[in-house]
Structure 1
Amino acid sequence: MTVTASPTIPTTHDARTRTLLGGLVAGVAVFAVVSFAQVFTRAGFDLTRFPLSSLSNGDLGWIQITNFLVTGTLIIIGAIGLRRAFRGTPGGTWAPRLMLVNGIGMFLAGPFVLQGGGGFPVGDPGVPGMTVGTIGHIFAGSFAFFALIAACYVTGRHYARAGERGMALGSRICGTVFLVGDLYSLSGGYAGSLVLAVTALTAMTWMAVVAVVERRR
Structure 2
Amino acid sequence: MWSNRPSSIRGAFLIAGTIRPNYNQWRTTISTLSLGDGGWVQIGNFCLFGASTLCIAIALKRLMRNGPGSRWGPHLLIIIGVGLILAGPFVTDPILGYPPTLPSNGSPSLHGTVHNIASLIVFIALPALSFVMARRFARDSAQGWAVYSIASGILIIVLVVWFFAAVGAATRHPDGGGVPPGLLERLFSIAGCCWLSLIAFRLLKQERLEGK
Give the TM bin, normalised by the shorter chain.
0.7 to 0.9
Partner in structure 1 of residue 55 of structure 2: 77
Tell me how large the CA RMSD over aligned residues is: 1.6
1:29-78: CA deviation from partner (whole Å, max 9, x where unpaired): 23112211111100111122211000000021111111111111111111
1:115-171: CA deviation from partner (whole Å, max 9, x where unpaired): 125442243334612111211111000111111110000000000111110000000
Partner in structure 2 of residue 202 of structure 1: 191
Partner in structure 1 of residue 13 of structure 2: 35
Please show how residues 23-102 of structure 1 align to structure 2 within 5 Å: 23=2, 25-102=3-80
Q: Which has the higher helix share?
A: 2
Could you tell me how far apart the structure 2 residues matched to 1:126 and 1:145 are? Answer: 23
% identical equivalent positions:
28
Judged with a 3 Å threshold, the aligned counterparts in structure 2 of structure 1 residues 69 and 153 are, in CA distance, closer, same or farther, namely same
SS of 1:90's equivalent in the other structure is coil
Could you tell me how far apart the structure 2 residues matched to 1:117 and 1:192 are? Answer: 11
Which residue, out of 191, 214, 217, partners 2:203? 214
Could you tell me how far apart the structure 2 residues matched to 1:118 and 1:164 are? Answer: 43
5+ residue gaps in structure 1? 1-21
5+ residue gaps in structure 2? 167-177, 207-212
Could you tell me how far apart the structure 1 residues matched to 2:188 and 2:100 are? Answer: 27
Does the CA-based 8 Å contact 1:109-1:141 persist in structure 2?
A: yes
